[in-house]
Amino acid sequence: MTGDPNNDAVYLKLVNASSAAQPVEINLSGANNVGKTGTLVSLSGNNPAETNTISAPMRIAPLKTPLTNVGAKFNHTVPAYSIQVIQLQAK
């Protein structure tokens, strides 16, 4: 977890190298005024050997989506073979 005090942002980095989705409970104890929405940036593949190629240059590309129902404590599932960054507003 890292933070940016200039814009009251908290960044959570999640990695799942396994072949099964992993549920996690996120608890930002000590964080105040955590927003109820956030942003999720995700990179994922179908297996660890999957890569981009000249013929498929966007096979693995960042996907940015909004998150809802988040806060100081929430549950999240990290998909198989993925790297995710969750951005939340918190002070």
Per the CB < 8 A criterion, the answer to whether 37 and 66 are in contact is: yes
CB-based contact 64:87 (threshold 8 Å): no
What does the pLDDT look like over 10-30, one tens digit per residue? 899 999 999 999 999 999 887
| Helices H / strands E in the chain, number of each | 0, 7
Contacts of residue 27, Cβ cutoff 8 Å, sequence gap at least 6 = 72, 73
Q: How confident is the model at residue 32, as a pLDDT?
A: 76
Low-confidence ranges of the chain (pLDDT < 50): none
Cβ–Cβ under 8 Å, residues 79 and 47: no
Cut 0.75: pTM above it? yes
Domain spanning 2-46+61-89: which CATH class is it, in words?
mainly beta
